[in-house]
């Protein structure tokens, strides 16, 4: 009996489980001190107007470089940051860093008329001090609210739509723009979609990546563009990896395009040269290259 229990235990604490638990613990320990250790940075991915292919804005994307774990992608640590509550401090850092960087570019005349997008996690949206925190960042950095766009993930918004709606309303009062990210992967009630004060839908990249081969994906992209426009919202496609997809999206009336076709997320110095070299014409350099 003891033997079989031992076997069960061994199965339960299989080397694999063990490894995963340990990896998570290690990551949590590292994540707790990452801010203080200065291990976070931001990369920036341009977003282009579909028709003119002019740069319209830039999305700030968090990067974590840890001495022990190497470069950890956000998909591997954002959820942990949410579960541990660390996301509020990390998110506050992202907002301040993004706006500070933006105003520095602004002063150098590099991002005139462009919009800065920042991702907000659901835990941040739920945090009672978010609105005040944001107001303070806008005030202290001088970032014009109308040039800041906050991206909220669809699936998260619908977890608690009434609270989310109230919070979105308060954010809108500050003058920022609101986009729904990863649209099509959650389960938005159309009634809520109408009630939220939104500016933009971002079609999830999973549909965009497959739309040239998979007619169902293409149909979903088409439908989201139609839905967005019916509601008076701009529609962005993310995950645009090639020119054929970019052209198809433009033909479907998609307003903005973001993806490797135009640029990967760039460290700040490369963003600066991208914006300087391309001027406002994101595609031209790509075609020459």
Q: Which residues in this chain contact ligand C2E in the complex, by CB under 6 A?
A: 45, 61-62, 73-75, 78, 91, 94, 119-121, 151, 153, 181-182, 205, 238-241, 258-260, 265
Q: Which residue is nearest to ligand C2E (CB)?
A: 259
Out of 182, 255, 256, 283, the only residue in the binding site for Mg ion (CB under 5 A) is: 182
Among the listed residues 181, 186, 190, the one whose alpha carbon sits nearest the alpha carbon of residue 236: 181
Residue 25 or 182 with smaller CB distance to Mg ion: 182
Residue 184 or 282 with smaller CB distance to Mg ion: 184
Among the listed residues 131, 128, 129, the one whose alpha carbon sits nearest the alpha carbon of residue 150: 131
62 contact, one of Mg ion, ligand C2E, none, CB 5-8 Å limit per kind: ligand C2E
> Would you count residue 119 as binding Mg ion (CB under 5 A)?
yes
CA distances from 115 to 24, 249, 272 (A): 36, 21, 15
> What span, in angstroms and rounded, lies between the C-alpha atoms of 29 and 287?
45
What is the contact mask toward Mg ion in residues 220 to 239, using x (rule: CB under 5 A)? ------------------x-
Residue 193 or 239 with smaller CB distance to ligand C2E: 239
Residue 74 or 226 with smaller CB distance to ligand C2E: 74
Give the DSSP H/E element, type plus range, for residue 66. Answer: strand 55-66
265 contact, one of Mg ion, ligand C2E, none, CB 5-8 Å limit per kind: ligand C2E
152 contact, one of Mg ion, ligand C2E, none, CB 5-8 Å limit per kind: none
> Would you count residue 151 as binding Mg ion (CB under 5 A)?
yes
**Structural contact between residues 263 and 244, judged by C-beta atoms closer than 8 angstroms:** no
> Would you count residue 181 as binding Mg ion (CB under 5 A)?
yes
> What span, in angstroms and rounded, lies between the C-alpha atoms of 229 and 165?
20
> Would you count residue 106 as binding Mg ion (CB under 5 A)?
no
> What span, in angstroms and rounded, lies between the C-alpha atoms of 171 and 193?
16
Structure tokens at 47: 């977003």
Residue 17 or 247 with smaller CB distance to ligand C2E: 247
Helix (H, G, I), strand (E, B) or coil at 52: coil
Least distance to ligand C2E, CB of residue 3, Å: 46
**Structural contact between residues 180 and 155, judged by C-beta atoms closer than 8 angstroms:** no
- In 146-233, where do the E strands start and end? 148-153, 177-183, 200-203
* DSSP per residue, 178-192: EEEEEETSS---HHH
Residue 17 or 76 with smaller CB distance to ligand C2E: 76
> Would you count residue 147 as binding Mg ion (CB under 5 A)?
no
């Amino acid at each position: 009996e003891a033997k079989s229990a031992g076997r069960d235990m061994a199965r339960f604490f299989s080397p694999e489980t063990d490894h995963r638990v340990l990896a998570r613990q290690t990551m949590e320990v590292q994540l707790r001190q990452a801010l203080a250790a200065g291990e976070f940075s931001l990369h920036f991915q341009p977003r282009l107007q579909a028709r003119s292919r002019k740069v319209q804005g830039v999305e700030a994307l968090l990067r974590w470089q840890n001495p022990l774990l190497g470069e950890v992608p956000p998909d591997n640590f954002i959820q942990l940051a949410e579960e541990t509550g660390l996301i509020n401090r990390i998110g506050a850092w992202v907002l301040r860093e993004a706006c500070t960087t933006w105003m520095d570019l602004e002063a150098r005349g590099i991002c005139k008329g462009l919009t800065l997008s920042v991702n907000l996690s659901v835990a941040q949206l739920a945090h009672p001090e978010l609105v005040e925190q944001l107001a303070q960042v806008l005030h202290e950095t001088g970032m014009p609210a109308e040039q800041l766009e906050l991206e909220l993930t669809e699936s998260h918004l619908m977890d608690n739509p009434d609270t989310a709606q109230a919070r979105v309303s308060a954010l809108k009062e500050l003058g920022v723009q609101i986009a729904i990210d990863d649209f099509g992967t959650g389960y938005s009630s159309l009634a809520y979609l109408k009630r939220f004060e939104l500016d933009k839908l971002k079609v999830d990249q999973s549909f965009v990546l497959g739309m040239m081969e998979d007619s169902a994906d293409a149909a979903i992209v088409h439908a989201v563009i139609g839905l967005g426009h019916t509601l008076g919202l701009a529609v962005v496609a993310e995950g645009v990896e090639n020119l054929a997809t970019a052209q198809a999206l433009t033909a479907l009336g998609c307003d903005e395009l973001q993806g490797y076709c135009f640029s990967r997320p760039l460290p700040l110095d490369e963003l600066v040269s991208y914006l300087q070299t391309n001027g406002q014409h994101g595609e031209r350099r790509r075609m020459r290259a």
